[in-house]
Structure 1
Amino acid sequence: MKKWILSIVIFFVVLIGIFIKVYLSAMNPVKAAEEKAVLLASKKAQLTEIQDFHLYNGLETVNVIEGKNKKGDKIIVWIPEKSKKVFVKKAKNGLSKEEAVQKLLQEKNPKKIISVRLGMEKNIPLWEIYYRSENNLINYYYVHFETGEWLKKIENL
């Protein structure tokens, strides 16, 4: 009986080790992209403090970095993966996350907002709001970062 218990414990330890190895291997490209993007943003936008980094996968992959510059202003940097062109905007010159959600709420009645994140498509900075409707369908709502205008909707997936 003790051999069975020991075998099961060893099996689960090995299984957990494999899962950890696969997860770390999968995260390596994301970490490499983050390092390159942060280095480029530090040079081009004089970024001194990083507060958030994420990848936006829309029409193309875009590295999005939120942080502060040397003057202490909160800035947002978008770096499209293909062009490596750097787009820099002060956060105060665009909509906040809460304001973007309010734009959605003026037009729609979401059951649950899943995520709200910055992105860029066709060199236009935007907020992507991912939510579920009353009938539990997936929806995306895109709001222009600077003007607050609706850009596009993907509904009822």
Structure 2
Amino acid sequence: MKKWILIVIASIILLGSALFFYIYESSRAPLKEMKAYAEERAKAEAELTKIDEFYLYNGTETHYVIVGENKSGEKLAVWVPEKKDKEIVEKKMADGISMQDAIAKLNQEENPKKIMGVKLGMEKDLPLWEISYLDEQSKLNYYYIHFDTGKWWRKIENL
């Protein structure tokens, strides 16, 4: 009797684990497709040879941002619009502010309790850094900084 109970419990655990992994992989499939599309366009149009980072930015329009190197070793950021008929935007990382500089700018002007994430994005044809953070009251905030100039663009507070 104990043997049957153990077999049933083990079968339920195995079936549950398999179902969990199937659902997880199915939910990640669209993101993998987006990443593959963005990498393909970045390699073809911006001539990237190495890809280091991928960001998904959902603003007024969706952009996929690829950071990598071209054949001459320059580090580039490539903003790939979700819409296939729109052109990509590419910038040298050296021509914009770094992630660390964007975080330093946030720390100068605000008092973040915890930084949740930092990613490149695009709003109104403006490349930018989006920083999400928690304030002292643990409310979610977004802080946007121009990639090119390092100037504050906008913030969304107390979410």
* Alignment size in residue pairs: 157
Alignment correspondent of 1:132 = 134
Counterpart-to-counterpart distance in 2, 1:78 and 1:115: 18
Report how far residue 81 of structure 1 moved.
Answer: 0.7
Which aligned segments of 4 or more residues in structure 1 are displaced greater than 6 angstroms? Answer: none
Alignment correspondent of 1:75 = 76
Give the TM-score normalised by the residue count of structure 1. 0.96
Report how far residue 5 of structure 1 moved.
Answer: 2.1
Counterpart-to-counterpart distance in 1, 2:62 and 2:3: 52
Alignment correspondent of 2:24 = 23
Deviations 1:80-114 (A, max 9, x none): 11253100000000010000001101110110011
Deviations 1:96-153 (A, max 9, x none): 0000001101110110011111111111111010000011110000001011111110
Alignment correspondent of 1:148 = 150
Report how far residue 2 of structure 1 moved.
Answer: 2.3
Residue 90 (str. 1) matches residue 92 (str. 2): yes
Alignment correspondent of 1:9 = 10
Q: Is the alpha carbon distance of 1:21 and 1:150 closer, same or farther for their aligned partners in structure 2, counting shifts above 3 Å?
A: same
Q: Is the alpha carbon distance of 1:84 and 1:28 closer, same or farther for their aligned partners in structure 2, counting shifts above 3 Å?
A: farther
Report how far residue 40 of structure 1 moved.
Answer: 1.1
Paired-residue identity, %: 47
Q: Which structure 2 segments of 5+ residues have no match?
A: none
Where do residues 41-80 of structure 1 align in structure 2 (5 Å cutoff)? 41-80=42-81
Question: Of the candidates 93, 110, 114, which is equivalent to residue 116 of structure 2?
Answer: 114
Report how far residue 54 of structure 1 moved.
Answer: 2.3
Root mean square deviation of aligned Cα: 1.1
